Amino acid sequence: MIIRYERNGKVKHGWMVEEDHKVRVIEGDIYKIHTAKPIMTGLELPLDEVTLKAPSDPSKVVCIGLNYRDHAAEMGIDLPKEPLMFLKPSTTVIGPCEPIVYPKLTQNLHYEGELAVVIKKEAKKIKAADADDYILGFTCAIDVTARDLQMSDGQWTRAKGFDTFCPLGPAIAAKLDYHNLRIVTRVNGEVRQDARTDQLIFSIPQLIEAVSAVMTLRPGDVILTGTPSGVGELVPGDEISVTIEGIGTLTTHVVAEE
pLDDT band at 71 (very low <50, low <70, confident <90, very high): confident
Model pLDDT for residues 132-160, shown as the tens digit of each residue: 999 999 999 999 999 999 999 989 999 99
Domain layout of the chain by residue ranges: 2-52, 61-256
Among the listed residues 135, 100, 138, 148, the one whose alpha carbon sits nearest the alpha carbon of residue 209? 135
pTM for this entry: 0.94
Question: What's the CA gap between 90 and 44, in Å, rounded?
Answer: 30
Q: Give Cβ neighbours of residue 8 (< 8 Å, ≥ 6 apart).
A: none
pLDDT band at 17 (very low <50, low <70, confident <90, very high): confident
Position 20 scores a pLDDT of 82
Looking at domain 61-256, its CATH architecture is Alpha-Beta Complex (3.90)
Position 34 scores a pLDDT of 55
pLDDT band at 127 (very low <50, low <70, confident <90, very high): very high
pLDDT band at 33 (very low <50, low <70, confident <90, very high): low
Question: What's the CA gap between 199 and 157, in Å, rounded?
Answer: 26
Tell me which H or E stretch contains 78. none
Position 35 scores a pLDDT of 54
Q: What is the mean pLDDT of the chain?
A: 94
Secondary structure class of 121 (helix, strand, coil): coil
pLDDT band at 99 (very low <50, low <70, confident <90, very high): very high
Q: Give Cβ neighbours of residue 19 (< 8 Å, ≥ 6 apart).
A: none
- The mean per-residue pLDDT over the stretch 190-218 comes to 97
Among the listed residues 157, 131, 130, 136, the one whose alpha carbon sits nearest the alpha carbon of residue 146? 157
Question: What's the CA gap between 227 and 248, in Å, rounded?
Answer: 17
pLDDT band at 73 (very low <50, low <70, confident <90, very high): confident
pLDDT of 13 > 90? The answer is yes
For 8, 26, 30, 200, the CA distances from 40, given in Å and listed in that order, are 19, 5, 10, 36
CB count in 10 Å sphere of residue 182 = 13
Among the listed residues 246, 193, 213, the one whose alpha carbon sits nearest the alpha carbon of residue 82? 213
